[in-house]
Chains A and B, each alone.
Chain A
């Protein structure tokens, strides 16, 4: 049918810009070569222009510091600053010095450097902890929603029980038994926070399962694994992303709480 003749809006705008070229002004002649490059630049810039400014700045700064921590931190975050083995206040307070502008902790470690390195831990644990929780929750939710019946009932009762346990207590218990390496913490956060994914995704899958395209995939002979991978998961992915973005902060705070409690 006539789908093919309505092409991307990009080409239409090029046609409009090519309009005055026929009149032969010099500036337009210079533009002739790099038109497509300009179009590409516009696409990239258009994407950047759509990003929310405030949150991009904050997250960008955080990630920048996390990535370049060794270059940006003036001191080693773990060793005391040479010659200082006790608490010093921040620069604008009595007894502070601009050499360690946020001061040092009770062991003489530079607070500013520790904050910069802390961004690393926050970003890594925040993202991987969220990914772990999201992965467990996705599997549980999709399995419960798609297979239904006693599988669904069982998983949802587990979720109910899980939600009744205070998250931080569970996290402390698990880290005591498993030991507290960073990757153990990631795993523990995943195990603690998967329930909300499971609950919400299960509901989504329940409605998706009744949609005609899932039924038609079944009629076409697709296996359950294929239906889940090709039809269910792509259609719950948006919800998953939103949930994940909400979980990152919770996970970072939980990780900080654990570390504050000395786990």
Chain B
């Protein structure tokens, strides 16, 4: 946190001064460790084993915050009797299909009170087809809503029922003993138990513990399950929805949160609505029902309004009830169209044009060579950036030009490099990592021909529409009917010539939503209508333009308001700063303790009581804690007074996830795709459902049980330095940053330096099946070999900020990674791999490829492909049999069109 988010770290330092204990778990000793009370070095890729060990510690010793757990989580919910856990299936959950390597999650569902299969409808409808879920990264829709389970599953509030979630969880994590943690993670039992004690002793009624992770956690083949493991622990200890608690994702880019809320992602539309899928969303009703999930609790019940308001915002007057609000205008996805799939398609010649918008995949994406070879096989490429980054110059100075794989005279890709406006040369909002939107005022005009993306895309759209004008081709209707008239402002001459700057505020108002007839901005998404009388581009952002005021531009000084600072910027949803904050009060609505009071029920307020406190209550303001839902209710009405998790189908925090995840209802330890160790916990080595692209240009290093695994004996990981920013496009070109870390380097422990003959500040190179890169050697005790499964493992660390351009240049660490993805969100495993390290610089020119090919041949990666499913044949069969049984038993669940 101190490394990549130094200013955020001020709050940790402040907490430390006030007595908080700081624990830092990281493979290497960083700037964060330097200020922590305890640094716990851990083997890269073993986090679930570590967190699972703490979960086990909590459950074994019954240290959970029981009142919170019983009322606010699904601990009491009974799981289907067909569910079989990994312990009995060698690392697989029940329902595994070895053909597709996906699960049928039917057996994972909650037990229903009613035998009538109809009551399963809400569960099964969205449990769905996991092949398609993996292809479309469906897990991402859950960023704003949890599993859409039925409103009233069976519960045992004593937590004694053998199939209640609490007991299932307890059995699942019983294996993660301190001994296993020590063996798998390389963490001593003393260190581990110290963490367990600190975390549990500092959680409960009077105290809360915060879990902070940086998004390296997401860059694993089990990335989503890492975060799930953190969520389980924080729920068990009652740390969610409470001040000083929670899970904080330290995201790495100014508006990366905004980029998922208002996504430029293939599978999502604004507000986490799914992109329509050719297989399931034939009609507007199909699409809405798939989100609305009849039978479930919560605010997704209004999905129809959210979806229709988006269509109305896109196609304006053309979108009417008669034509299903132009739902047919939407293109359909049919599978994986993620950035890595697309890059491989570029190599295969299937993609013609590519836009890179402030993005430098030649350095910043995994498998840099594949990225660059893909770019070299396009018709045209548009790069928009502040500087002449590597992705714009791949055709003249990339590593592949050096190896002869890209020959400028033979590369046909046309490249346009457009100068972009900087953050002070345009106005608009960033959404920071706590979901807060902050409006930036424009300070100056951009230099020369530099323009904003708003300008570029508005005018590109205008010009494409002009070119298609008069077309009677049906395919052009969505473009021609698009609501695309934004007021222009700025330099009067430019405006007069038709080249003005579109008004970002007008766009923000459209995002917020307004009444079509009057133009009155909506105050809350509950004002959205499903009849076309309102429109709004992103329902979760509704309220940011409340009362016609740009709420994101608010700048009331922190000195003039409460510490929660509700008048600085605007946070979604509805300016709530801590999500699910109803959980900061007990079931009766009283603060859990005086020192942890945040939001509570005041029976004296209003007509019959109201929720009050320091924050905007994340609950219906006048719904009392005593409210119980009437029989048969659903949606918002079904949320009871003790259901703080209002976006979850059952209103409860999920310790166990019956659906929505492709790789299982509970996190379980799998080894990284590339690992020098066998999975000690199960026969199943890696995540059996991970997304793989098995091609000659994407070879993965072998793993144990393979004779050649020792060709790549070391573990490596990468991360950021304080002095640089991601792929370096905003730091390597600045003298005041570049000079602070001027060269690529490789951190190794003194022991590894001795073993491989590496000299401090000499050169070394790191080799994987993809490439070899070089850097200066940094020998440091900050990296420590660990004892894992009884033997010493060396870990190597590298920053990934360099490329061939800029004031300082060097090899790119991302060239070392292959492409294998988490199955839920299709994010690549680029925080762990295996490698070899050798002294001296790497070979140059064509010799580089020969050198890497030699390693590949020695490692057997050419003809010996490691199987993904390594659980025993018997386990695979039994897991699959559960699925077959499930089919018979719950036939209606299988209605998904496949």
The yes or no verdict on A and B being binding partners is: no
